[in-house]
């Protein structure tokens, strides 16, 4: 167990300067995520163009892992459609939980999260933003389908 594996430079950089931090006014979809165990809270808001995420922001307070993970996520999903995001989520999830998994080369900066699985108590911190994103997307899908 090496702390450097968890707190990599990319993670610390995104913790100190979170990208896409804030809320989108009149967002097409948003959701709140809460991890009561550690008190992490975050909001993800989305601007959608059909199936595609045109803009995304997150806001909240959390640990270095949850903040960096959310920041990295916003960079990774911008411009992608639902199917691509679902695929990305699956690969991030595997990366966070499967001890044997090697980061797939196209994960880009998200691969920096591969140290998290050595710290089981922290996996939830890294996945909170993704679950929140999924909730926002599901809600927008639900809204769309009832319209």
Partner 1 sequence: MSAQVLHSTPAPVYDVERVRRDFPILTRMVNGKPLVYLDSAASAQRPRRVIEAVDQYETHSHANVHRGVHALSQEATEAFEGARDRVRRFINASSTREIIFVRGTTEGINLVAQSYARSRLGKGDEILITALEHHANIVPWQLVCEQTGATLKVAPIDHRGELIHEELEKLLSPRTKVVAVAHVSNALGTILPVKRIIDAAHAQGAVVVVDGAQAIPHARVDVRALGADFYAFSAHKLYGPTGVGVLYGRESLLAEMPPWQGGGDMIKAVTFERTTYNDLPWKFEAGTPNISGAVGLAAAMDYVDELGIENIAAHEQRLLQVATEALARVPGLQFIGTAAHKASVISFTLDGVHPHDIGTVLDAEGVAVRTGHHCAMPVMDFFRVPATARASFACYNTEDEIGQLVAALRKVREVFG
* Smaller CB separation from partner 1, 2 or 147: 2
Cα 86 from Cα 75, distance rounded (Å): 15
Of the candidate residues 13, 19, 21, 38, the single one contacting partner 1 (CB under 8 A)? 38
Beta strand segments in 12-95, E = 29-35, 40-49, 52-61
Cα 121 from Cα 138, distance rounded (Å): 27
How far, in whole angstroms, is CA 10 from its chain's centroid?
15
Q: Which two tokens stand for residue 145?
A: 């389908």
Counting residues that bind partner 1 (by CB under 8 A) gives 23
Question: Scanning residues 112 to 141, which ones bind partner 1 (CB under 8 A)?
Answer: 119, 121-122, 125
Q: Which two tokens stand for residue 133?
A: 């994103």
Tell which residue, 52, 28, 35, has the closest CA to residue 44: 28
Of the candidate residues 51, 61, 98, 106, the single one contacting partner 1 (CB under 8 A)? 61
The region of 10-18, 49-57, 69-77, 89-97 touching partner 1 under the rule CB under 8 A is 10-18
Of the candidate residues 65, 77, 88, 111, the single one contacting partner 1 (CB under 8 A)? 65
* Smaller CB separation from partner 1, 45 or 67: 67
Of the candidate residues 9, 26, 37, 105, the single one contacting partner 1 (CB under 8 A)? 37
């Amino acid at each position: 167990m090496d702390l450097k594996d968890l707190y990599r430079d990319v993670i610390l950089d995104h913790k100190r300067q979170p990208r896409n931090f804030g809320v989108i006014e009149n967002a097409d979809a948003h959701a709140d995520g809460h991890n009561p165990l550690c008190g992490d809270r975050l909001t993800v808001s989305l601007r959608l163009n059909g199936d595609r995420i045109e803009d995304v922001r997150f806001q909240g307070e959390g640990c270095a892992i949850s903040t960096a993970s959310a920041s990295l996520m916003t960079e990774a999903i911008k411009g992608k459609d639902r199917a691509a995001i679902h695929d990305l989520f699956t690969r991030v999830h595997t990366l966070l939980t499967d001890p044997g998994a090697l980061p797939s080369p196209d994960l880009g900066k998200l691969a920096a999260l591969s140290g998290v699985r050595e710290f089981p108590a922290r996996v939830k911190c890294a996945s909170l933003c993704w679950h929140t994103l999924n909730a926002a997307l599901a809600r927008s899908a639900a809204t769309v389908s009832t319209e």
